[in-house]
Amino acid sequence: MSTGRLCRGVIRIAGLALLAVAAGCTTMGPQSIPRDRQGYSYAIGESWKEQTLLNIVRLRYADAPVFLDVSSIVASYAAEGQVDGSVTFPPHASATPTLGGYGRFTTKPTISYAPLTGDKFAQSLLRLIAPASVFQMIQAGYPADFILGATTRAINGHYNRSSGVNAREADAEFSELTDRLRHVQRAEGLGMRIERRENGDATLLFFRGQAEPQLDQEVARVRDLLGIRKSPEFNLVYGATARNDTEIALLTRSMLEILLDFSNCVEVPAEHIAQGRAFPGYPPGQANATRRLATIHSGSAAPEDAYAAVRYRNTWYWVDDTDMNSKRAFAFMMVFFSLAETGTSAPAPVLTIGAN
């Protein structure tokens, strides 16, 4: 082989190696941020929906919920290339020139998971949602009937439905109250403000005055149901019943209670209930049928078009992608988790990533 031909071969291989390295480099640095952020965000969102759905189903079967948080994601990239060549001078028949080269691009994501246990578990699942947080969501525009139905056990002595050993229907007054508060909310007739006082912040609720006659009638009925006098403002407090006619007492639920309420929306196979493998759910009734937080289907085969689907005990459970009410309920669930979680979060693990 001539020296010129050998040189041209070396240059050609070197060019190919450099192209391979350059192709890897184009996906590194700032260019990787949109791709990685969208990809990981989508994957975490989908896995969160499936994890939540699975835990809802598990609760229906009296299994303990298990949550894993993605505490950190570190993506490490490396690109390298190498060209090798050798030739013997002067050339002779026994000498065999050699050429070689390679290019390599690698990515090594490091994902850390943190199980929800101990104090973190208590804060996220067992701590009661603050009454002020409930009405802050209502003030933000979320439907009052849905928010109160999901997060509240009682308002001024009127009780919501409950499950478990003491399963019961909701009081008729509770259902009427949440419906009328929704009407008042749509008419912008409900207001809220937080006032700083010496013994702590106070949450005050008020109804907008000089409204339309129809709204005035709704507000008057809400006052009757709550047993509050015609005062410009009312203190929002935690409790089952109010101490006087200027208070609105809210007995709120924990995140675990909300998940239990969602578990009663699972259409468990009838044979599982007959065999005693799962709770029967809410007692049948018109109020329970029309006020379900969501609808979770079940079947022996995987669904073709689902918002979220999981397999548990050889049965598939899913939320239909065309069911906007159920999809909205799952979106609110993430907000509920945030409202229930207070205090200092556990520190993220410290990772040492070697530079490439």
What is the full DSSP assignment across 179-226?
A: HHHHHHHHTT-EEEEEEEETTEEEEEEEE-SS--HHHHHHHHHHHHHH
Query: Do 128 and 252 meet the contact criterion of CB atoms below 8 Å apart?
Result: yes
Residues 188, 200: Cα–Cα separation, whole Å: 28
Cα–Cα distance between 263 and 210 in angstroms, integer? 43
Segments of the chain with pLDDT less than 70: 1-29, 31-32, 76-105, 164-166, 200, 209-211, 283-290, 339-356
Of the candidates 168, 136, 162, the residue with the CA atom closest to the CA atom of residue 149: 162
Instruction: Find where tokens 């049948």 sit.
Output: 284
Place of tokens 């809400």: 222
Is 319 within 8 Å of 294 (Cβ atoms)? yes
Question: Hunting for tokens 């890897």 — which residue is that?
Answer: 24
Residue among 168, 163, 167 at smallest CA distance from 59: 163
Other Cβ atoms closer than 10 A to 92: 7
47-52 LR contacts (CB < 8 Å, sep 24+): 48/334, 49/307, 49/308, 49/330, 50/308, 50/309, 50/310, 52/308, 52/330, 52/333
Provide the whole-model pTM: 0.76
- Whole-number pLDDT of residue 115: 79
Q: Say if residues 175 and 165 touch (Cβ distance below 8 Å).
A: no
**Distance between CA 39 and CA 50 in Å, rounded?**
17
Calculate the dihedral angle through the C-alpha atoms of 181, 182, 186, 192, rounding to the nearest 10 degrees.
50
Q: In 3D, which of 62, 233, 236, 37 has the Cα closest to residue 132? A: 236
The H-or-E segment that residue 107 falls in is: strand 98-115
What pLDDT was estimated at residue 225? 94
Q: Output the pLDDT for position 285.
A: 57
For 270-332, give the DSSP string.
HHHHHTTSS---SPP-HHHHHS-S--BEEESS--SSEEEEEEETTEEEEEETT-HHHHHHHHH
Task: State the Cα–Cα distance between residues 332 and 137, nearest whole angstrom.
Answer: 10
pLDDT tens column, 254-271: 898 999 999 988 999 999
Nearest to 316 by CA among 115, 103, 22, 53: 53
- C-alpha 168/C-alpha 147 separation (Å) is 19
pLDDT of residue 114: 78
Q: What is the pLDDT of residue 347?
A: 46
At residue 161, the pLDDT reads 87
How many angstroms separate the CA atoms of 331 and 226, rounded?
30
pLDDT number for residue 153 = 93
Residues with Cβ within 8 Å of 68's Cβ and at least 6 positions away in sequence, in order, are 51, 113, 114, 115, 116
